[in-house]
Structure 1
């Protein structure tokens, strides 16, 4: 009988681990918010690093499953599935709840051939959208990229600084009515920071 290698199999990658992956990407911009969220999850810095390391290994593995099946494996069956039309293309939107953001859902857009087109946080169906009227309303984690684009239309997409990051450029008034050019950065679809120029 062959001797055991002594290595235990890795534990399953859970929705808790996935939330830590989302937080790891946000930590560069908002370490205080991330630390509070991590404590709320009962996780350590080491837990967050380990979850991110395991996620990257899954994504980059030569034997990696498709992104769509990876999300189902980690998050389970979606809470909802709906057909969505974007331009002339049809896809399916899968959504999952995440305890950290009760009024948001993690959404994955899946093409008819199973490819993932997008993956980000969106407002949960029936949840009240934030009132976005001035620069002062654009606080970290206050809104999704869709909400900012609609509130301050017309908005122009900016190239993200890394995977899972997007930018928007738009004009917004401050509390005194003075309009400013704004560049907003989003991670996993959630607002992280804004840069303002006169």
Structure 2
């Protein structure tokens, strides 16, 4: 187990994974502890990585978010351009060794610009979980976009902290449900603050 990494060492993909884990530790400390040990890093090392990341993002000399990700993670594994309506956007994805079937995705306007979204998504070609009931919604098993597709209509809600989001939706049996995500990865089910309409009911199809 390594100790805290030197502040002069380059901040790279390992450090970034520790930043992802640090944000997840509030809800899934056991899973985070196991993942940190797999990375061979001490708890102090994880705290130091998070401290350095926060300093990078808050620095007056900080480069833009996309440039920062390129600096830390290198060139993306893939970059695709898509269009929704009249809006063109680029999705850049990097591998995340802790979760081999996931990718860290950054979405920006086509050709560059501010980062619109930054989260974990399923890797192209990787099979996602079958999501049918609340029992299928296990921590770290699925991503926010997978839950939204599995239980439409899903309504996004503001999360409890930066990099956290909530989705409210209705299960096939009619039960209201809500889930909280960190960096786009499912962390836990929470008390619904909004109930999705039943299909065919008010507001439904």
- Indicate whether the TM-score tops 0.5: yes
Match of 1:95 in 2: 93
TM-score w.r.t. structure 2 length?
0.87
Change (3 A) 1:35 1:170: same
Give the match for residue 118 of structure 2.
119
What is the 5 A alignment of 1:60-75?
Answer: 60-75=58-73
The alignment covers a number of residue pairs equal to 187
CA pair 126-169 structure 1, distance change in 2 beyond 3 A: same
Aligned equivalent of 2:155: 156
TM-score computed with the length of structure 1 as normaliser: 0.90
Q: How does 1:35-114 map onto structure 2 within 5 Å?
A: 35-111=33-109, 112-114=111-113
Alpha-carbon distance between aligned partners in 2 of 1:86 and 1:148, rounded to the nearest angstrom:
20
Q: Distance in 2 between matches of 1:132 and 1:50?
A: 36
Displacement of 1:113 after TM fit? 4.2
Answer whether contact 2:24 2:182 (CA < 8 A) is retained: yes
SS of residue matched to 2:119: strand
Contact 1:180–1:196 under 8 Å retained in 2: no
CA distance in 1, matches of 2:100, 2:7: 32
Per the TM alignment, residue 114 of structure 1 is displaced from its structure 2 partner at its CA by 2.0
Find the residue that maps to 1:131 and give its secondary structure.
coil
Q: Measure how far apart 1:172 and its partner are.
A: 1.3
Task: Name the structure 1 match of 2:203.
Answer: none
* TM-fit CA distance, 1:179: 3.3
In the TM superposition, structure 1's runs of 4+ consecutive aligned residues that sit over 6 Å from their partners are: none
Q: Give the match for residue 23 of structure 1.
A: 21
Q: Mapping of 1:126-165 within 5 angstroms? A: 126-165=125-164
Per-residue displacement from partner, 1:27-84 (whole Å, max 9, x unpaired)?
0000000000000100110011000000000000000011010000000000001002
Task: Report the CA distance between 1:23 and its aligned residue.
Answer: 0.2
Unpaired stretches in structure 1, ≥5 consecutive residues? 1-7
Aligned partner of 2:12 in structure 1 is 14
| Distance (Å, rounded) in 1 between the aligned partners of 2:129 and 2:177 | 18
Partner Cα distance (2:85, 2:24) in 1: 30
Gaps of 5+ in 2: 1-5, 196-205
Greater strand proportion: 1
Tell me how far apart the structure 2 counterparts of residues 104 and 54 of structure 1 sit (CA, whole Å): 24
When the two chains are superposed, the root-mean-square deviation of aligned CA atoms in Å is 1.6
* Cα distance in 1, alignment partners of residues 65 and 180 from structure 2: 24
Distance 2:46 2:131 in 1: 32
User: Do 1:103 and 1:127's aligned partners in 2 also have CA atoms closer than 8 Å?
Assistant: yes
